Structure 1
Amino acid sequence: MKRKSLLMLLTLILVVGTVLAGCGSKNDNGGSTASGGDKGSSSAAKEQVLHINLSAEPPTFDPAQAQDTQANTVLKMMYEGLVRIDKDNNPIPGVAEKWDVSSDGLKYVFHLRKDAKWSNGDPVTAKDFVFAWERVLNPATSPAPPYAYQLYYIKGAEDYNSKKITDFNQVGVKATDDNTLEVTLNNPTPYFLGLTSFYTFYPVHQSVKDNAKWATDPKLMVTNGPFTLTTWTTGQKIEVTKNANYWDNQNIKLTKVTMSLSNSSATELSSYKAGQLDYAGNPNGTIPTDQMPAVKNELKDELDLKPIGSIYYYVFNTTAKPFDNVKIRKAFSMAISRQDIVDKVTMSEETPAFGFVPPGISGDKGEYRTEFKDDFFTEDMEEAKKLLAEGMQEEGYTTLPPITLIYNSDDKHKKIALAIADMWKKNLGVEVKTENQEWGVFLKNRQNLNYQIARAGWSPDYNDPMTFFDLWTSTSGNNDSGFKNKEYDALIKDAFSTPDTAKRMEDFKKAETMIIKDQQVVLPIYYYTNVALIKPNLKGVVIDYAGQVDFTRAYFE
């Protein structure tokens, strides 16, 4: 899941996230299939019913707990923040109809529209935002919200979250009346406005207090966005229906969105070809890699194929043997051929990655990746063997302990994992077991450091390099690597607080050098392209620079 230049470009932010999402985003999590019994796209134009699929079931619909692409797609339909992002990646009025920013950039006053309502008819008030943000930052919230650090731009937020202060009234967010929200920042942050469209900043209806089941039961879920959750059949189908109380419902053309749940990319493609799906592929599904040449030829007019600002990578558990040794981590990273992976396995015109920030993310005067090349390491099989031998000697190994690479269930992830495991065997003589896991289990294992190597993906939450670096800090709820480094934390804190854009970018370069070249916390594989199929009569789908999708203003003609 991050940042734009501190110039005017910095205000053109985008949300979304995997993975952790991540989203934070943690993206590209599987395939799709049409839900049984639903009418396909042949009748969708008449009924304005959209059929899509999620490759994995969202672990939660609680905005405070979400951290993956699947949840992001659905939450965007059900909730709305102070602003939302338009097709040109600009923040435009959402719940807030206008806002004022102080001359020093530290204070934002949001004026909420009086016709904003919850799905049960209650007015959406500034107090609902205060309630939701306090819930994210409250150290007593369990489990701890992974994206709490995104609110650290707000004065006192980090101190409250880390228990240095205990009174939320000392945090720089207050409702001066039902329709006015005042936010005070620690430092001028030009991309803060767009960041408020991110799901962690969504308001939450105050009825959720002391109700543990509210985010899993459609009957209990009160939302403020274009759609409401009406059906959730675990493992089969999720359905949202147009919200009659949404303030802008006259511009919402779809009456319903039906999402089936499958991690089979082959089923997804066949369902799309059969007219049972109106949209297939990224960010919620995948197209079978071995069928990409045929798709490019047969469905070229329906194929959206373009570079996006997201990265596919593996993360090391730096606290688990044998990857607590940096030389062994480096050896594994150097001993694969990224070009072979994108040419022979994924076949979607991705770019091999030798850094962590993808092309397209803003820098000082232009693009960060243009200003700082991703040449932090090279693929070198002989050097990899040498480093592996040195690392093993340092650890007293005659043979490496058993190693397992985990990935979430998906055909594409499986093929990549098998190809890389085969490269490690051929180039290093190391046997690596590959293991697929259901999305929710996979996330928990990563979060709990119950793994050695794991698949990961990250889509920016906004267009600035910070979104790619603050997740590796010691306090980040998305840091699944076990890496903790005071020098790294200091670099990110400096970039977080300085208004000097050039200085920020230098800090980011040092941070990237540390996590890629010096410590090899992650093993970059490739920078994503967006690969999606869209029916010709489906209009208004917005796919942002990070590959995140917004269906809220979609319609059939």
Structure 2
Amino acid sequence: MSRDEELQTGKARRAWIAAALALIVVVGVTVGVATRWGRGGENTSSPGGPQRRGAELVIAVGDVAGGEFDPLKGWGSRPAQIRPIHSSLLTIDADVDFVGDLASEYSVSDDARTWSFTLRDNARWSNGEPVTARDVVFTYETLKKDGTRFDLTFVDRITATGGSRVEFHLKEPRSTFVSQLSEIPILPAAHYGPDYSKNPIGSGPYTVADYQQGQQLILTANPHWYGQRPRFTKLTFLFLGEDAALAAARAGTVDIAYVPPAFADQRVPGMTLQRFESIDSRGLSLPTRPAGDKGKIQGKDVAVGNDVTADPAIRKALNIGLDRDEITEIVLQGHGRPAHTLVDTLPWFNREAAFEDGRTDDAERVLAEAGWRDSDGDGIVEKAGKKAGFTLMYPSDDKLRSDLALVVAEQARTLGIEITAKGSTWDGIYLDGKANAVTWGGGRHHAHQLYSMYSSKTIDTGYNNMPQYADPTVDGHLDRALSAATQEEANEHWKRAQWDGESGFAGEDGDAPIIWLVRIDHLYLVRDGLHLGDQPIHGHGHEWALFNTIAQWRWEK
């Protein structure tokens, strides 16, 4: 087969994949309606019929209970996750500026080593007791001692001055400390213990009324909330998969349902598709070490390394050879945009990391120069007797990532690289993901993920640095960015870590331990007339992204 014929075949295959994905959507949705809600006449609700505009909402945006309401178990690991139940010292506004939440005011010393906060006078826990500086000190000292979910090793000491003032004294400046101040939920010192998850006491606009693992979460309005009083007194979260959530929307039993891009063209009477820009990106995490190594994930021993992806030529060929525009069109149905880094367009993005992709000829040249050639004519290149093939893992219940894996595998084959897509649970992915490629995701309103995903100092901590990537020059830039006294200085080093002209983890000549491909829009079917407030740009995790503005939600007249 000639090269032109091979390329045409690849295009035909991708067209077939797009058609197949569309068929899967139709079949999946039909089955979801039939199996969960019954066929015509069996549903007690009138699908798409008139809905009450009461003080209760039913929401299906995925499983929102991860972390069990406790920061020691992971609560706060995603932007906006804590917002309905807890408060933090700071939060973000619609312009993505960090502003006071529990803190009525705060200041930072000239040397960026002392952060001072004054708490609101009217802040109360859901049991009516006041939130005090002692609670803040207790929360941060507890998390610092635990050391697994939040890195607070840079904090020297925390002091309470009276009942409402708190000071953090840092060992050195930490440019991303502001992110933790907006994501760490404050805990009640007098009521926290091993059973806290069973009865979480928070200072947010809602409190937990009922939680049934794997099924639903019910929140009721907190009468002691210090902020704008929510218009909705009860929120019921149904833990439905994507097809079942769409079926529920069609049945008229939910007011908000998250939908993946492949479902976005589905019409649901009485509901409108609302689209929110995000910094939520998807890509491929690729092991950078040869096979046979050992590492850890959340303290568990796991295999590390892959002989194929450890070759920089394989990663570079994929980085420049994959066609992000085509991936965006097929996988996201146009609801998003191509991505070259985790931080495209943000203040710490290095524009030199963007490049023209879809360059199959250049990708083949990179492989050939590194010794990868198709010697047996099967379309897959080999080197030293080893085929250029590896497994790409994705969560089976995530349609977007499964579609991404399928399209990437098809595109990669035209480059001479064989990728086998494999669905699994997240538990399985975490155990096997350091020896295989993974459809990875991320995106924050701050730059700290660049450190956690690429610094060698984060290897074997939590879920950080899945590729086990290490480069001393990159580490140097990341360290200097982290300890910078000003945001301007930090941004310069974040950019140089991406690419400094000679080395970096991004750009067409970078190491590409994670190949970022698309940035997704968050899509929701929303009951007509329901206004969701002035939403800031969303961060990673559609389950919680909406809830920064929950106190602003209302029915429009």
Q: TM-score range by the shorter chain?
A: 0.7 to 0.9
Specify which of 501, 514, 533 is matched with residue 541 of structure 1.
Answer: 533
8 Å contact from structure 2 (residues 321, 360) kept in 1: yes
Unaligned runs of 5+ in 2: 1-28, 38-42, 290-304, 374-381, 540-544
- Cα separation, partners in 2 of 1:504 and 1:542, compared to 1, 3 Å: same
1:292 maps onto 2:264 in alignment: yes
Over residues 252-311 of structure 1, what are the superposed CA-to-partner deviations in whole Å (9 max), with x where a residue is unaligned? Answer: 2221111111222x3323433443222233xxxx3351x43455xx88993333543332
1:413 maps onto 2:413 in alignment: no
1:280 maps onto 2:257 in alignment: yes
Give the AA of the match of 1:556.
W
The percentage of aligned residue pairs carrying the same residue is: 19
Question: In the alignment, what sits opposite 1:556?
Answer: 555
Question: In the alignment, what sits opposite 1:205?
Answer: 188
Shift of 1:426: 3.4
1:511 maps onto 2:494 in alignment: no
Over residues 482-518 of structure 1, what are the superposed CA-to-partner deviations in whole Å (9 max), with x where a residue is unaligned? Answer: 1123322210121233346665444223211211232
8 Å contact from structure 1 (residues 77, 552) kept in 2: yes
The normalised TM-score by structure 1 is 0.75
Over residues 36-57 of structure 1, what are the superposed CA-to-partner deviations in whole Å (9 max), with x where a residue is unaligned? Answer: 9999995552233343331575
DSSP-derived class of the 2:395 partner: strand
- Cα separation, partners in 2 of 1:273 and 1:88, compared to 1, 3 Å: farther
Question: In the alignment, what sits opposite 1:247?
Answer: 226
Q: Structure 2: how far apart are the matches of 1:101 and 1:279?
A: 40
8 Å contact from structure 1 (residues 64, 136) kept in 2: yes
Q: Structure 1: how far apart are the matches of 2:284 and 2:107?
A: 42
Q: What's the RMSD between the two structures over aligned residues?
A: 3.6
Specify which of 129, 134, 140 is matched with residue 133 of structure 1.
Answer: 140
Give the AA of the match of 1:530.
H
- Cα separation, partners in 2 of 1:380 and 1:55, compared to 1, 3 Å: farther
8 Å contact from structure 1 (residues 316, 454) kept in 2: yes
| Number of residues of Structure 1 aligned to a counterpart in Structure 2 | 476
Specify which of 451, 456, 462 is matched with residue 474 of structure 1.
Answer: 456
- Cα separation, partners in 2 of 1:401 and 1:53, compared to 1, 3 Å: closer
- Cα separation, partners in 2 of 1:356 and 1:308, compared to 1, 3 Å: same
Question: In the alignment, what sits opposite 1:47?
Answer: 55
- Cα separation, partners in 2 of 1:64 and 1:542, compared to 1, 3 Å: farther
Question: In the alignment, what sits opposite 2:364?
Answer: 385
Specify which of 244, 260, 265 is matched with residue 238 of structure 2.
Answer: 260
Specify which of 457, 461, 465 is matched with residue 441 of structure 2.
Answer: 457
The structure with higher relative contact order (CA 8 Å, sep 6+) is 1
1:438 maps onto 2:415 in alignment: no
- Bigger Rg, structure 1 or 2: 2
Question: In the alignment, what sits opposite 2:7?
Answer: none
Q: Structure 1: how far apart are the matches of 2:44 and 2:99?
A: 38
- Cα separation, partners in 2 of 1:288 and 1:239, compared to 1, 3 Å: same
Of the structure 1 ranges 535-544 and 300-309, higher mean CA displacement relative to structure 2 is found in 300-309
8 Å contact from structure 1 (residues 195, 461) kept in 2: no
Shift of 1:455: 1.2
Alignment of 1:190-229 (within 5 A): 195-198=180-183, 201-206=184-189, 211=194, 213-215=195-197, 217=198, 220-229=199-208
Q: Structure 2: how far apart are the matches of 1:373 and 1:73?
A: 31
The normalised TM-score by structure 2 is 0.75
- Cα separation, partners in 2 of 1:230 and 1:72, compared to 1, 3 Å: farther
Question: In the alignment, what sits opposite 1:424?
Answer: 412
Give the AA of the match of 2:546.
V
Question: In the alignment, what sits opposite 2:167?
Answer: 182
Over residues 174-212 of structure 1, what are the superposed CA-to-partner deviations in whole Å (9 max), with x where a residue is unaligned? Answer: 1122321112345667875565222xx22122357661x
8 Å contact from structure 1 (residues 263, 411) kept in 2: no
Alignment of 1:326-345 (within 5 A): 326-345=312-331
Give the AA of the match of 1:539.
H
Give the AA of the match of 1:280.
A
Q: Structure 2: how far apart are the matches of 1:530 and 1:275?
A: 21
8 Å contact from structure 2 (residues 158, 167) kept in 1: yes
Q: Structure 1: how far apart are the matches of 2:424 and 2:189?
A: 35
